[in-house]
């Protein structure tokens, strides 16, 4: 995906978000084994997809790739907060 190589990068304690202006909204996830076992990784994916669905609906179209960091496996509320903050920052810069 071009967003990883050409996109704007925003980092938080639990994730890295790469964003690139696009004609339609696309969202991708990269959850490493370092975040935890299969159950933990799937839980992280579900939480991120849920938050991203709301952000995609209210925002303008852009390609977004989220790469989680090892701290994402143990973060509960921080994950949603970090994703929302990173998404809004990327949206201001990429779509300005």
pLDDT tens sequence across 52-96: 999 988 878 899 999 999 999 998 788 999 999 999 999 999 887
Instruction: Quote the pLDDT of residue 80.
Output: 92
Instruction: Out of 2.60.40.10, 3.40.1190.20, 3.30.70.270, 3.30.230.10, select the CATH number for domain 2-94.
Output: 3.30.230.10
* pTM listed for this prediction: 0.90
Tell me what pLDDT residue 54 has.
Answer: 92
Q: Are the beta carbons of 41 and 31 closer than 8 angstroms?
A: yes
d(CA 53, CA 69): 21
pLDDT for the residue numbered 52:
93
pLDDT tens for 17-56 read 999 998 988 999 999 999 999 999 999 999 999 999 999 8
User: What is the secondary structure of 2-69 as a DSSP string?
Assistant: HHHHHSEEEE-SSEEEEEEE-SS-EEEEE--GGG-SHHHHHHHHHHHHHHHHHHHHHS--EEEEEEE-
């Amino acid at each position: 995906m071009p967003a990883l190589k050409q996109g704007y990068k925003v980092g938080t304690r639990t994730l890295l978000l790469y964003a690139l202006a696009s004609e339609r909204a696309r969202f991708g996830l990269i959850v490493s084994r370092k975040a935890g076992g299969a159950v933990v990784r799937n839980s992280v994916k579900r939480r991120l997809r849920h938050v991203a669905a709301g952000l995609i609906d209210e925002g303008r179209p852009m390609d977004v790739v989220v790469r989680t960091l090892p701290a994402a496996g143990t973060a509960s509320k921080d994950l949603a907060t970090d994703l929302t903050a990173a998404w809004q920052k990327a949206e201001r810069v990429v779509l300005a």
